[in-house]
Structure 1
């Protein structure tokens, strides 16, 4: 017998508008939802092993970026005849002008990479975009195995740049979307660490094997990454939700969190809200100039990556072994280069431990001072290197200077400009800001590496390093005067600071 009365009108209970009673059936449904959310909040703990494995697999691409960045350091001395001239695959040694192009074509390709990535990252997803972006690495290193033409080496470096620029844009986005709030910072910092490990790989292996063997070894990591990532690692749940693939998003999140379907419902709901808000307020490039805060954010972002490149980092990365050969010290150039690479890896692993304790602003100031001091001392060594006393008693100064430079760069101006970029812009225009900033960064890197040889011929190698030191001093004042502290602040607080509502350093 049905005891319900159709003439009864259910009224909201005062003070309980959020439980507005319309019918017993609806009350039960709402109660079920609340119970489900409570179970999600205090139920399954899940696991993180698969998430860590997936992120490390994804970072094989950043390892390949590091290999490409360090590739020229052991290769150029072999191509210009300074080392093993009998094994040079080219018919004649390369000139200084060709060396500049070999170094600078990678950042030139990287200028275009972010724009290429922006065209398809939201259309085909993060996973497919990463796979496509990795393909030029495979093609480039295979090409380098067989080529005997300098022009094909130029093409190989340009392809590496395209891949690198795209990976720099897509991979941090993917890792940020699959990570949890509690480990997003540490997993994101692996990007810079794997790049440093890739650079160290080039420094350790390149000088001791033939050019052909080196290129074969370089192609292995991206070639292994391709099938593993394609077959076993899911796409970003954020992208799957944006494509209305509810089932795919659930399966991906269950795999990343190692939870049941019920255990991921609360996080899935939060992802849906985030994606809906982002799609409803999709920003455009012109939005970057619509407020004082966004203009200031863009100026800070472009300034940080400018000083990152003007510190001379790409000259150091591309020509480390050549620099040590020019110093004339008694320490073998290959050994000195490996020591610098090891220090860079160790220093890069310190940033996640320091940044939350000291703040980004302090670390960037420390970084600028250390880099400026290192470049100044390196320039001084080259200025007086013809003095026999200097060679006898200060043979250690070049390696000490580059160790100091790499430590202070790797903890500060290496990773932190990109971390600050992620905090300065609202989510709806972060993609546009990242594309512009990354492309500008690599354009500047191209110009610096391309003109380094000409500038060195004009003012001497010591003058070039002193010029980098001056830019590091300017970087100190830029950070001290213009950059607010972003660590420990919400995104809204950062926007308030940028818009001048209150000033906090």
Structure 2
């Protein structure tokens, strides 16, 4: 039994790694503007971007991302989880090729914008599949860790592009070309390793394929009988699949969608998750990612800005990696509250430093770098990671694709607004400051982080250790699902 459990965990971890790697290109897209904006603004001739063009270059990918988010749900339902994770790499590849091949002999602005739009569009499609796939295939005892790996991969992608920017300073075309290799590798790995989601296969009436996929995911050798707890999982998925098939044809009907959204198990998580993503954006997490080099300068960090961004990317990866393990012990709510409080403390400290310290002669020049690093760690353990991790958990399976897609669509609209107005916020804060610095911006992020922590405390549900069915029933107001006790006993039996 121990050997079977270890084999099951190993297979789920392998599948989790491959699925999560699909999000690496999203991280590369997020971080690319940070390392390319400065050389593009400082370039002479046709490569030069003025401030308005630079802000569009940074933010325009977020315009296309909501479109990809809306398309992601129908692709997941129509093509399946596996084929969607393969298809999303095509616009990524084309976008990176356009960026890498942007001409230097004529104005490259249109091509640069197009490349950013394509990678942003692909990021939108990529925002859901890995998380949904991991939530559907993982046992409850592992799901808390595995669903965070897509966010971890985004952090890895950000770190990689920051490293490339530090090593290849100014050579943003070469960086784009290297980033273009990642989608090709992703397609090969997904094709060779991942089975299709058993949940999706059962919904399509492909029972035998679903059983084979489930046996593979649980590490059951060929010829061995299917264990009882695996059979129980398949039966529950089959029942859910039958219910979905009854309404699947109606998903294209607006009336049906609105009818489903009237159910508390649909509208409650929809409101909560949209609020969660709103605070993710207004607390400045993605502003720091997109404008990392600029933010480091605004914060008064004295070391090389490219080296500072690498440190920020590194601690973000460490934080995202740690949260995957912490979730199995701490849950979502405590980490999110700690994240909001940590962000608030760091931003207020940074604002106070800029307002009162002599930034040129002070012996406290280490404060802004430490504050920025702790801020990124605080974001990684909560607001940067958990909204994405919870997307695959909180919505009913019958509208999971649509609900998750619309939520991420709205999230990236928030992101676009914040990224586009960031230069204006900086100039406004400087105009109001006696020190010609932007401490007001950091105070703003600190205040919104406090409000975000209060939001989590009041409204974010705890999903730790619960099956997807239990989460749905609790949103519906069923406090004690009839099979909860049985599920908890089975979950304990598969823990290492």
Residue 83 of structure 2 corresponds to 128
> Of 118, 127, 131, which residue of structure 2 is paired with 1:168?
127
Distance 1:355 1:180 in 2: 14
Deviation at 1:427, TM superposition (A): 2.5
1:278 paired with 2:250, answer no
2:487 is matched with none
Please say if residues 36 and 165 of structure 2, whose CA atoms lie closer than 8 Å, have aligned partners that are also in contact: yes
Matching residue of 1:456:
426
- Aligned residue number for residue 469 of structure 1: 446
2:350 aligned with 1:350: no
Q: What CA distance in whole angstroms lies between the structure 2 residues aligned with 1:453 and 1:397?
A: 24
The offset of 1:134, in angstroms, is: 1.4
Query: What residue is the counterpart of 1:234 in the other structure?
Result: 195
1:263 is paired with a residue of what secondary structure? coil
How far apart, in 2, do the equivalents of 1:213 and 1:230 lie?
27
Match of 2:490 in 1: none
Question: Which residue in 2 is equivalent to 1:22?
Answer: none
What secondary structure is seen at the aligned counterpart in 2 of 1:349?
A: helix
Asked whether 1:71 is paired with 2:41, we answer: no
Q: How far 1:75 sits from its partner (Å)?
A: 1.0
| Distance (Å, rounded) in 2 between the aligned partners of 1:294 and 1:497 | 11
Report the alpha carbon displacement of residue 329 of structure 1 after superposing the two structures with TM. 3.9
Q: Which of 348, 371, 391 is matched with 1:376 structurally?
A: 348
Unaligned runs of 5+ in 2: 431-437, 481-496
User: Does 2:354 correspond to 1:399?
Assistant: no
- TM-superposed CA distance for 1:308, in Å, is 0.5
Alpha-carbon distance in structure 1 between the residues aligned to 2:176 and 2:262: 48
Describe the shift of the 1:168–1:263 C-alpha distance in structure 2 as closer, same or farther (beyond 3 A): farther
Name the residue aligned to 1:334. Answer: 306
Residues 288 and 307 (structure 1), Cα distance of their counterparts in 2 relative to 1, 3 Å cut: farther
State the Cα distance separating 1:303 from its structure 2 match. Answer: 0.9
Q: Give me the TM-score of the superposition, normalised by structure 2.
A: 0.83
How many pairs were matched up?
Answer: 455
Match of 2:110 in 1: 151
Match of 2:381 in 1: 411
- SS of the aligned residue for 2:49 comes to coil
**Judging changes above 3 Å, is the alpha-carbon distance between structure 1 residues 495 and 137 closer, same or farther for their aligned structure 2 residues?**
closer
User: How far does residue 111 in structure 1 lie from its aligned partner after superposition?
Assistant: 0.8
Structure 1 window deviating more from structure 2 (324-333 vs 207-216): it is 324-333
Deviations 1:375-399 (A, max 9, x none): 22233344457x35x5432222221
Partner SS, residue 127 of structure 2:
helix
For the residues of structure 1 that align with 2:361 and 2:257, how far apart are their CA atoms? 54
Give the deviation of 1:281 after TM superposition.
5.2
| DSSP 3-state at the match of 2:205 | coil
Measured against aligned partners, the alpha-carbon deviations of 1:114-154 in whole angstroms (never above 9, x if no partner) come to: 21112222222211111111111111111111103022111
Look at both structures and tell me which one has the larger radius of gyration over its CA atoms.
1
Residues 25-60 of structure 1 show CA distances to partners (whole Å, capped at 9, x for unaligned) of xxxxxxxxxxxxxxxx99966555444333322322
**Structure-2 separation of matches of 1:452 and 1:467:** 12
Q: In structure 2, what is the Cα distance between the partners aligned to 1:179 and 1:501?
A: 24
Alpha carbon RMSD of aligned pairs, Å? 2.8
The structure 2 residue matched to 1:106, chosen from 50, 61, 64, is 61
Answer whether contact 1:368 1:476 (CA < 8 A) is retained.
yes
Give the Cα–Cα distance (whole angstroms) in 2 for the partners of residues 216 and 419 of structure 1: 30
CA deviation digits over 1:240-296, x for unaligned, max 9?
A: 333333443344334333322653472544432332233335575313542456443
Q: Distance in 1 between matches of 2:443 and 2:194?
A: 47
Structure 1 stretch displaced more, 70-79 or 287-296: 287-296
In structure 2, how many angstroms separate the alpha carbons of the residues matched to 1:52 and 1:477? 34
Q: How far apart are the structure 1 equivalents of 2:470 and 2:12?
A: 31
CA distance in 1, matches of 2:3, 2:306: 55
Counterpart CA distance in 2 for 1:253 and 1:490 is: 17
C-alpha distance in 1 between matches for 2:367 and 2:262? 49
Q: Per-residue displacement from partner, 1:146-187 (whole Å, max 9, x unpaired)?
A: 103022111111111111111111121122233334322222
Structure 1 residue runs of 5 or longer lacking an equivalent are 1-40
The answer on 1:300 being equivalent to 2:300 is: no
* Inter-partner Cα distance in structure 1 for 2:178 and 2:466: 44
Whole-angstrom distance in 2 between the partners of 1:115 and 1:173: 15
**d(CA) in 2 for partners of 1:182, 1:502:** 21
1:263 to 225, 231, 236: 225
- 3-state DSSP class of the match of 1:325? helix
Contact 1:127–1:235 (CA under 8 A) maintained in structure 2: yes
Q: Deviation of residue 488 (structure 1)?
A: 4.7
- Using structure 1 for the length normalisation, give the TM-score: 0.82
Paired residues of 1:141 and 1:219 also in contact (CA < 8 A): yes
Greater CA drift, 159-168 or 271-280: 271-280
Residue pairs, 1:241-256, within 5 angstroms: 241-256=202-217
Alpha-carbon spacing, 1:236–1:332, altered in 2? closer, same or farther (3 Å):
same
